[in-house]
Amino acid sequence: MDVEFDPAKDAANIAKHGVSLARAADVEIHAVLPDPRFTGEVRYRAFGLLDDIPHCLAFTMRGPTMRAISLRRARTKEFMRYTARVD
């Protein structure tokens, strides 16, 4: 899947979370949920593994392209809560 992101947002994400938004394409997604906190463009939260470590990815879809918004390590309880729904 094609992934795009804002370069300034990528720099901020690296500074804050230590991971580039470019790695969104590498996340092995286990669960995707709509994020109801935002109006307008539909946003999603995905939980999956990146280098065998649980991560949370916030993104939106623009046609066939995923636009990554945030990528961070997921807390263990958070990861288990959402991925348990699909296992």
DSSP string spanning 55-85?
EEEEEEEETTEEEEEEEEEPPHHHHHHHHTT
Query: Residue ranges of the domains in the chain?
Result: 3-83
**Is the confidence at residue 23, as pLDDT, over 70?**
yes
- pTM for the structure as a whole: 0.88
The domain 3-83: what is its CATH number? Answer: 3.10.450.530
pLDDT tens-digit profile of 43-82?
A: 999 999 999 999 999 999 999 999 999 999 999 888 888 7
